[in-house]
Chain A
Amino acid sequence: MKKPLISVEKCKGCGLCIGACPKKILEMSSAFNKQGVNYPKCKDEPSCIGCKFCAMICPDCVIEIVETDEPGGKNG
């Protein structure tokens, strides 16, 4: 299964990743990091297609895209 790993403490809360995700599965969480910044979270990891758009537009290298061997990814 492919999914984004978000280093929440690095996030500045710009939200560009949310707009960039073609599957619209990123959303701003209500949680705050230590800088008091809202950071995004993936609300439907199985739908992630690993296109990396969110990571590519992130100006701060906050998001890493990984592929795990957990089952259940809709996209194999």
Chain B
Amino acid sequence: MGERVLLKGNEAASEAALIAGCTHYFAYPITPQNEISAYMAKRMPKLNRTFLQAESEIAACNMVYGAAATGARAMTSSSSPGIALKQESFGYIAGAEVPAVVINMMRGGPGLGNISGSQGDYNMCVKGGSNGDFHNLVYAPATVQELADLTLKAFDVAEKYRILTLILGDGYLAQMSEPCVLPEPSGFKAEKPWALTGAEGRPAQVINSLRLADGVLEVHNRHLEEKYKAIEAAEVMFENFHCDDADFVLVTYGTASRVCKAAVMNLRKQGIKAGVFRPITLWPFPSVALAAAVAGKKQVLTVEMSLGQMVADVRLAVNGAVPVDFLGRPGGAVPMVDEVTERVLSYGR
């Protein structure tokens, strides 16, 4: 067990990436994730690794695509509008099946919005964002510890499935400092016969997403579908916090889930049995586990730092078995513990 250190979210994620063996990091400035770039700019040269600030978020992610296509562990990070700029390359990376890691510290939107934490990118990051049928694997950490652990894990999972793995944090998690034990390297090693290293002693090979010949792309899409099914079967992560005996279940992730846990403790003190179901992978969404966790409950309340985006997936998973209410604070605001407590109290005993 490493020693406990007080770390800012951005820095914990950065160090975890380095522990994971990230050799190429491509930066572009945008609040609230700037500490990642600053941290990597200092650390990577000392480790004889590549740090480069690109001319745009678009260029930065295409640099990740290029480096990762040669088998390097590569990463970029940004925030909301910057992630919007990278979406085109996410589609190329998905189609070409290149492993990559991207961190999005969400901020208020739409547009320039503000620099507070938010969860307004759920749809962009979890439901789509780029063109074509594809998924990114999306982790939603709620603590600095989890941010570090999931960032390290992201590199392994990306290579295991040749998929872009997105860490979906927010400005609060990015900027807060919490005690954290930095994770140990996992030792996971993936074979990369597909990597572009020059056609020496083997036929030349190509990393691409263009498939023009008749029917060939459909075959490729089916292959990706199989991969996504395998991920859905093996990589779902969630937390069940006091749901078993609960009458009311709050479905929430990231920073909002911390508020909801506090509300649950308040409510339990008042004899109200409430619990939190916290998705940690937003894709693959824990639909089966959620349906099981809320079966027979009186009420489900989805709490988000947005006008309601994950709530659609919650409703799909619950599928009418239990009423699903929504409480959200957009624009970089955070739901207050009292707000959540009041809303659950309003459901009566």
A and B touch in the complex (CB under 8 A): no
**B contact set with A: CB distance below 8 Å:** none
**A contact set with B: CB distance below 8 Å:** none
